[in-house]
Amino acid sequence: MAITRVRMIDTTRTENPVPARGRSRGIPPALERFEVKKTRVIHEAVQVMSQLFGQHSIVVGGQDAANFCLTYHAATLKDVSFGYFDYRVRVELRNLSANSYYLFMPTSGSGRFQQGSCEHETSTIGAFIANPKALFNLKLEADSPHLFLRFSPKLIEHQVSKVLARTLKDSVQFECSFDLSKACSWRWHTAVQLLHEELYSQDSLSHNPLRIDALEEYLAATLLLLQDSNYSTHLQPVGIERSSRTLRLAIKYMQENLCHDVTLEEIANEIGISQRSIQKAFRDELHSSPMTYLRDLRLDRIQLEILSSPDKAVKIGSIARKWGVNHYGRFAKAYKDRYGESPSETLDRLS
Alpha helix segments (H runs only) across 201-327: 209-226, 232-235, 245-256, 264-271, 275-286, 290-308, 316-322
Whole-structure pTM value: 0.62
Complete domains list, the chain, with CATH: 29-234 (2.60.120.10), 240-348 (1.10.10.60)
Reference 307, options 342, 347, 340; nearest CA is 347
Largest separation between any pair of C-alpha atoms in the chain? 106
Query: Using an 8 Å Cβ cutoff, are 32 and 75 in contact?
Result: no
Q: Is pLDDT of 338 > 90?
A: no
Q: How confident is the model at residue 287 (pLDDT cuts 50, 70, 90)?
A: confident
Separation of alpha carbons 321 and 318, rounded Å: 5
| Phi-psi category of residue 321: left, alpha or beta, with phi > 0 → left and psi -120 to 50 → alpha | alpha
pLDDT-wise least confident of 40-44, 93-97, 194-198: 194-198
On the question of pLDDT at 125 being above 60, the answer is yes
Closest to 189 (Cα-Cα) out of 149, 229, 129, 151: 149
pLDDT for res 236: 62
pLDDT digits (tens, 9 = 90+) for 238-278: 444 456 888 889 988 988 888 888 899 999 999 999 999 99
Q: Convert the pLDDT of each residue in 202-235 to its tens digit.
A: 665 555 666 788 888 889 988 998 888 988 877 7
Number of continuous H segments (helices) and E segments (strands) in the chain? 13, 12
Span of 6-15, 25-34, 151-160, 233-242 with lowest mean pLDDT = 6-15
Please provide the average confidence, as pLDDT, over all residues in the chain. 82
Residue 103 pLDDT exceeds 90: yes
